[in-house]
Every structure is written in C-alpha cells, then in structure tokens.
Amino acid sequence: MKKNISLLFILFALSTRPVKASDYIDLNFYDANSSAELLTEQTKQSFAVDERYLKLHAYLTRINSPLADYSAQFIISADKYGIDWRLLPAISGLESAFATQMVPGTYNAYGWGGGYISFKDWYDSIDTVSKALRENYYDRGYDTPEKIAPVYAPPCSYWASAVTKFMNEISTNI
C-alpha cells in the first residue's frame, strides 16, 4: 500500500514532465560483476515509462507477484529484443503463477528447461529468456502465443490461450 501511495505521489509530482525509467527503478542495480548489460546514460534518459510500465506494474502488484519490482526490466528487455512486452510476464503467469510457485532460487518463472534452469538473478533471467524468445521463436516466425505454443510447451493444448488471456489482462489493467 505504501508503495502504491508513493508511486501515485511520484506520478502526480512528475506530471509536468516526461516520466523516465529512472523515476521507478534503481538504475544502479548493475554492478561490475553483473551479467546484465549496463544501461548507458542515453538509454536512461531516452527510455520513457509509458502506460506499459504502469499497466504491468499495477497488474503484478495487484496479484502480489514478486516480479512487480522488475516491471521496467521486462519492458527494457522486450524493447531490446523486439518482442511483445506482455509475452514474458504472461508466460510467467502460466508457468509459475507469476513467480509464486517455482523452484526456489532459480529465478526461473518461465518454465525454461522445465523450470530447473537457474539464472543469476531476475535481471539475468528476464534478459536471457527475452533474448531466447527473439532468437529461437520470433526469428523463426513464431511471434504469437499460438505459434510459440507447439514448440515451447508441447503437447499442452491450453498454453496459448492461457498466455493470451494473461497478455490481455495485463493490457487492460489499471
């Protein structure tokens, strides 16, 4: 509740200027040992937080997902790799109930490798899986849940409809 009030205050106070990712996320989370790509000053200044961030963060917060604090990272990685910004969070909804039911310590909310592949942290998992979605699916023409499902989750007949449902819920949230 305190976070939501703070977010509303920030939005109100900043309503006279464009809102940037740095208004919402700690851009100093990258350290020298991090496998995540450093954000350049230009990236920090040019990435405008739009309704995508607001919708995703509100949705993940409402359902008590530990991924809510990584909403901006989902958008940054989706934009970096040219994938739908709702896809990876929606996959996490189906595969791990938005990171609430997964193998502890793996940072793998996406069922990647059966859910047993481990990542260094959430930033690493979001970026790695977003890149893999681009290279292994989008680049081969699998750019919708319906096209991705037979490869990502065979023989699961409801995977595509569930992921699409979560994508739609994220889009219409707020």
The residue behind tokens 């006279």 is 16
Give pLDDT tens digits for 97-148. Answer: 999 999 999 999 999 988 889 999 999 999 999 999 999 999 999 999 999 9
Give pLDDT tens digits for 137-167. Answer: 999 999 999 999 999 998 888 999 999 999 9
Q: 108: burial class by Cβ within 10 Å (0-12, 13-18, 19+)?
A: buried
Domain annotation for the chain: domains and CATH numbers? 2-25+46-172 (1.10.530.10)
Q: For residues 97 and 63, what is the distance between their CA atoms, to the nearest angstrom?
A: 9
So what's the pLDDT on residue 4? 43
Would you place residue 16 in the very low, low, confident or very high pLDDT band (cuts 50, 70, 90)? very low
So what's the pLDDT on residue 171? 94
Q: What are phi and psi of 48, to 5 degrees?
A: -90, 130
Q: Which residue has the higher pLDDT, 165 or 18?
A: 165
User: How many helices, marked H, and strands, marked E, lie in the chain?
Assistant: 8, 0
Structure tokens at 168: 């739609």
Residue range 16-37: mean pLDDT, rounded: 40
* DSSP assignments along 1-50, one per residue: -HHHHHHHHHHHHTTTS--BGGGTS-TT---TT-SSPPPPHHHHHH-B--
Q: For residues 4 and 24, what is the distance between their CA atoms, to the nearest angstrom?
A: 12
Average pLDDT, the chain: 80
